[in-house]
A and B are shown apart, each in its own frame.
Chain A
Amino acid sequence: EVQLVASGGGLVQPARSLTLSCAASGFTFDDFAMHWVRQAPGRRLQWVSGISWNSGVIGYADSVKGRFTISRDNAKNSLYLQMNSVRAEDTALYYCVRDRGAVLYFYGMDVWGQGTTVTVSS
């Protein structure tokens, strides 16, 4: 069974840092690109960042560019999101999502984990 288990969320103060992790199982992790997608209360889903199978291509939403860093460790079947200089508007449920293919911008997303909640507040 394909599983994506995100962790690392919590309450963080504005301007501080937080790192999200996603543990993947049930499939060959390095065959697929991966993404982080967030959903703030009452707002539409928003793509945050994506990374190709070999980390060769990385993309970010404009709203997080320069503040967030996506990475992956294929040996550990894990995806990460380093969140720096967080803002109140980063408050959301963060989903770890598998792409349908190995590269970005062609195949779309298929499997979604349950997500981890990030709350930015003083």
Chain B
Amino acid sequence: EIVLTQSPDTLSLSPGERATLSCRASRSISSSYLAWYQQKPGQAPRLLIYGASSRTTGIPDRFSGSGSGTDFTLTISKLEPEDFAVYYCQQYGSSYTFGQGTKLEIK
């Protein structure tokens, strides 16, 4: 099983700042089968990024994904108040596994 480890566990930033979230895999993820989700309290996860770097429909361009192999990054260029949430990475190249999540909180 591919284990995904996200860092940091919690990230405290202010609106307008840049957020960088990391996801590291225990072994290489084939064909960049890596997705990022946003989850707000009481809501289901929402897909942001698939294929490591492709934004899904309706996601603002301040969200971007990058990386390959075992190291992946979600960047939010300029935080808006609605971006404070928990973010999960997921790999779907070898069964399906999720990271433990990064909580992005307002500083």
Contacts and interface: CB of A to CB of B under 8 A. Distances in A.
A108 B50 contact: yes
B44 A44 contact: no
A109 B99 contact: no
Interface stretch (B16-24, B64-72, B85-93): B85-93
Nearest to A115: B44
B97 interface: yes
Interface stretch (A10-18, A24-32, A45-53, A77-85): A45-53
A37 B39 CA distance: 14
Contacts of A50: 96
Interface residues of A, number: 22
B66 to A, nearest CB: 17
A47 B35 contact: no
A105 B73 CA distance: 21
A45 B33 contact: no
A9 interface: no
A1 interface: no
Interface string A100-122: 10000111111111110000000
Contact of A110 (B56, B93, B95, B97): B56
Contacts of A111: 47
A59 interface: yes
A35 B100 CA distance: 19
Contacts of B44: 95, 112-115
Interface of A: 35, 37, 44-47, 50, 59, 61, 95, 100, 105-115
